[in-house]
Amino acid sequence: MSGTHGARLAKIFGRLAQTLFVIWAAATLAFVLLRSAPGDPYSRSLDGFAMSEARRVELAARRGLNDPMAVQYVRWLGNAGRGDLGWSTLYERPVRDVLRETLPRTLLLMSLALGASLLFGTLLGAWQGTRIGSLGDDAASTASLLVYSVPEFWLALLLLQLFAQSLHWLPATGMVSPEYAFMTFGARVQDRLEHLVLPWMALTLVGTAVFARYQRSSMREAWQEPFVRTARAKGLHEGGVRRHAWRTALVPVLTLFGLFFPALLGGAVFVERIFSWPGMGNSTVRAVTARDYEFVTAAVVVGSAMTAVGSLLADWLQQLADPRLRT
């Protein structure tokens, strides 16, 4: 018993160490790469803005940007270890404050899209998997392949053009309307939901297609397993048989869930840009252009942590679905 407990603890610590290493490596890479790129946060513009070179150097020095990279790295590592993510030169605020605002917006969008993709994708795929070759299966496969092969940003632009610019059914950009502060509570709820629809749909359609294709394939295999025949032979009703087969077929899809997390994060960056969703992805793109070193490095830390958490969540869900994996 204690041996099993010890092994489990060792596994947990091993996984934790692995996660921390991944986060550190990603942050270090971001730190080095961005600082190696030409320019710095106080780069002079070419369009006539009148900051002198001496002033530029002086302002950069105040932030320690003229120190050797190794010195900057050690300083950043020490500060990050104490929970200080630094000062955003682009947003003129502590990085922590900017992330505190933008991260929940990205998480909201991603979690809703991920949850819906998983739900719709597995349901659609499972339904298809038990009807291989039917007209419905063919139609669903064609539709999901079509969506699957379309880049998220293109799909987002298409949705924006159709539902916002042409039909005027939904707002085009932002999280709320300019008049939001002056609305009644009910109108605010409606306004928020309306602004959520298009970016959520852009991410969810692609996610649903991805999950459906995997689920269909694994359901098809499970549907031909001997235990399905046995269940039928024992007289289990068709719904029960499907539930048994689906549970088995769910495991590979849950593996995909972990892998899909970083892809969704990347997709969210494009979708946030197109719909002006003020999330972390949008802020990070601006920060990269402005060479806001500390914000970008912090965003990479958060992004890799989210990916690691997604992976852990996928493991947990797999074990939930398949007790044989609980060792």
To the nearest whole angstrom, how small is the minimum distance from the Cβ of residue 281 to other proteins?
A: 10
Is there binding between residue 194 and other proteins (CB under 8 A)? no
User: Do 85 and 94 form a contact (C-beta atoms < 8 A)?
Assistant: yes
- Interface residue with other proteins among 27, 65, 95, 105 (CB under 8 A) is 105
To the nearest whole angstrom, how small is the minimum distance from the Cβ of residue 200 to other proteins?
A: 11
Q: Which amino acid is at 42?
A: Y
Tell me the C-alpha to C-alpha distance, in Å, between residue 28 and each of 25, 31, 68, 143.
Answer: 5, 5, 15, 41
Helix (H, G, I), strand (E, B) or coil at 259: helix
Subset of 269-308 contacting other proteins (CB under 8 A): 272-278, 282, 285-286, 289, 291
To the nearest whole angstrom, how small is the minimum distance from the Cβ of residue 115 to other proteins?
A: 8
In the bound state with other proteins, the residue whose beta carbon lies nearer, of 23 and 299, is 299
Nearest one of 275, 274, 273 to 283, comparing CA atoms: 273
Is there binding between residue 91 and other proteins (CB under 8 A)? yes
Segment interacting with other proteins (CB under 8 A) among 32-40, 74-82, 124-132, 214-222:
32-40
Is there binding between residue 190 and other proteins (CB under 8 A)? no
How far is it, in rounded angstroms, from Cα 322 to Cα 303? 28
Q: List the alpha helices (DSSP H) in the chain.
A: 2-36, 53-62, 69-81, 95-129, 135-148, 152-159, 185-223, 226-233, 238-274, 280-289, 293-321
Q: Binding pattern to other proteins, positions 140-179, x when CB under 8 A? A: --------------------x---xx--x--xxxxxxxxx
Segment interacting with other proteins (CB under 8 A) among 2-10, 50-58, 146-154, 298-306:
50-58
In the bound state with other proteins, the residue whose beta carbon lies nearer, of 22 and 172, is 172
Helix (H, G, I), strand (E, B) or coil at 93: strand
Subset of 56-85 contacting other proteins (CB under 8 A): 58-59, 62
How far is it, in rounded angstroms, from Cα 312 to Cα 93? 32
**Hey, what are 61's tokens?**
């020095």
Which residue in this structure is represented by tokens 């934790």? 16
CA terminus-to-terminus distance, the chain: 12
How far is it, in rounded angstroms, from Cα 11 to Cα 276? 42
Is there binding between residue 111 and other proteins (CB under 8 A)? yes
Segment interacting with other proteins (CB under 8 A) among 21-29, 101-109, 123-131, 233-241:
101-109
Is there binding between residue 45 and other proteins (CB under 8 A)? yes
Interface positions with other proteins (CB under 8 A): 37-39, 43-55, 58-59, 62, 90-93, 101-102, 104-105, 107-108, 111-112, 115, 160, 164-165, 168, 171-182, 188-189, 192, 196, 272-278, 282, 285-286, 289, 291, 320
